[in-house]
Amino acid sequence: MCRLSCNTGGSELRFVKTLLECPLGCHAKLDSMIIVTGANGFIGSALVWQLNQRAYSHILAVDSVGLDQRNLLQGKAYSQFLLKDQLWEFLRSPKAYEVTGIFHMGACSATTEKNWEFLKENNLEYSQKIFQWAAKEQKTLIYASSAATYGDGEMGFDDQSPSTDFEPLNLYGKSKLLMDQWALEQKVTPHHWYGVRFFNVFGPNEYHKGSMSSLAYKAFHQIKKNGKLGLFKSYHPRYQDGEQKRDFVYVKDVIHWMVDLMEATPQNGIYNMGSGKARSWMDLAKAVFKSMNQDLNIDWLEMPNDIKNQYQYFTEAKMQRWQGQNLDESQWPLEKAVEDYVQNYLQKGDSLL
């Protein structure tokens, strides 16, 4: 029997009598439960969508933000929704036996957060508890790290370098790096575990993130409103205005890769999740203007003082470890990804995956 909740606001379960009636098709994988924390956030909700595309529907969705406040899970198939502090009671229950894997995406993702105790509790201690449970029960764990762990990039962006080499530029990056270092030091680990360092992820479902949303999202709405886009000037002699570079990666690549990790179970450890190719802010801006059939029009802005000293001028994921495990390469180069995002989601009223 296929148990689903194609949720439109409630949390009740809908029972489908036969696999042939299941909206996910007759190959729905019903023998295991997948936990997704941060499921009502950007990457987490997109991941639930990707799991549905891969015929997983027995999903326990967990988040600190309730469905009455925001519902990015609308229309997706999952079994149950819990608030983040309710997860521990579930993990102590007999139902937890059904769990085969955990995607831990829940965290404070604000790079400007100044409250270290808040970050320590949510990004480090909560993650450590999940890691320890997965180790004890031998469940596959994939947790969200960040390219912010690499700091200013002077030590490179190689996921095979010792984590002790890096010095993050902000407390958010520190919280993620401490988790990576702690995980790598553990003697008892989940049989399969992966910390994934996200680079500049953008795409559908990020609409609630405000100042932390991607430039692609902000650019679309600025151009739509004013016909122009504001970009920060450069304060680094190596980079002209607009030539600061980032490793932009589409959310559809990221969620595809994470499910691949769960299914392929390659070597444990830390993996970069980026395109592997740094592109400039101007490259991204041009792609958005082109996708909107608008002429390029840039307004150069002064960078706020509070981020000048923690600004990354260049990021580029080293993907050799990933490639060495014979895992899929990016399917969404920047221009193709921006076109898909703009024309199939943003121009349709910020529609969800």
What is the reported pTM? 0.91
Taking only the tens place, the pLDDT of each residue in 190-248 is: 999 999 999 999 999 999 999 999 999 999 999 999 999 999 999 999 999 999 999 99
- Residue 10 pLDDT: 38
Taking only the tens place, the pLDDT of each residue in 244-283 is: 999 999 999 999 999 999 999 999 999 999 999 999 999 9
Q: Which residues pair with 271 in a beta bridge?
A: 196
- Residue 22 pLDDT: 42
Residue pair 283/215 in contact (Cβ under 8 Å)? The answer is no
- Residue 312 pLDDT: 87
For the chain, give every domain's residue range.
2-203+248-277+315-333
In this structure, how many other beta carbons lie within 10 angstroms of the beta carbon of residue 89?
Answer: 10
Return mean pLDDT, the chain.
92
- Residue 5 pLDDT: 46
15 exposed, middle or buried (CB, 10 Å; 0-12, 13-18, 19+)? exposed
- Residue 18 pLDDT: 27
- Residue 29 pLDDT: 59
Residue pair 100/137 in contact (Cβ under 8 Å)? The answer is no
CA distance 10 to 50: 21
Question: Which residues of the chain form beta strands (DSSP E)?
Answer: 2-4, 14-16, 33-37, 59-63, 80-83, 99-104, 140-146, 193-198, 200-202, 229-232, 245-246, 248-250, 269-273, 279-280, 298-301
Domain 2-203+248-277+315-333: give its CATH code: 3.40.50.720
Taking only the tens place, the pLDDT of each residue in 108-127 is: 999 989 999 999 999 999 99
For the segment 97-116, the average pLDDT, to the nearest whole number, is 95
- Residue 308 pLDDT: 85
Q: How confident is the model at residue 30 (pLDDT cuts 50, 70, 90)?
A: low
Catalogue the active-site residues.
172, 209
Contacts of 185 (CB under 8 A, 6+ apart): none
